[in-house]
Amino acid sequence: MKSEAIARPRRLGKFLKIATVLCIVVGIGSIAPLLMSFMVFDAGVTRQAWTLFIAIWSLPIVMLGALAIAWIAYGARAFKSSVAALVVFSLPLLVLCMLMIPSLLAMVSSWLGFD
């Protein structure tokens, strides 16, 4: 019997490419916060400081790891695993967006004079 090759979904491939570009952009954007994250210890070494430091440094690592797993699963034709890895990839981005929206709104309101 011949085993037929499973066709790769084109939408998933396009989505993986978009996720890769997004990961690169977020990775470049996270260089400055990573370099400044050591300043969290200026007020002293506390549990909160370590939590914030680990959270800042884990964001790019989690994103790169999940993206690598997604591409490996896509290459192995394990499409459900690839989608699950992309969901894990999107969780840190969701947290990042939730953290950025209030500061962006405050910045825009101060530009418009709604102080």
- State pLDDT tens for residues 18-50: 888 888 887 887 788 788 888 888 888 988 888
Determine the Cα–Cα distance for residues 50 and 37; give it in Å rounded to an integer.
10
pLDDT value at residue 6: 64
**Residue 26 in tokens:** 């977020």
Pair of tokens at residue 110 = 């101060």
Q: Give the model's pLDDT for residue 1.
A: 47
Q: Which residues of the chain have pLDDT under 70?
A: 1-7, 115
Give the per-residue pLDDT at 36.
Answer: 82
Q: What pLDDT does residue 35 have?
A: 85
The answer to whether the CB of 70 falls within 8 A of the CB of 14 is no
Tokens of 51: 């939590």
Q: What is the pTM of this model?
A: 0.66
Q: How many CB atoms lie within 10 A of CB 33?
A: 12
Tokens coding 38: 């050591």
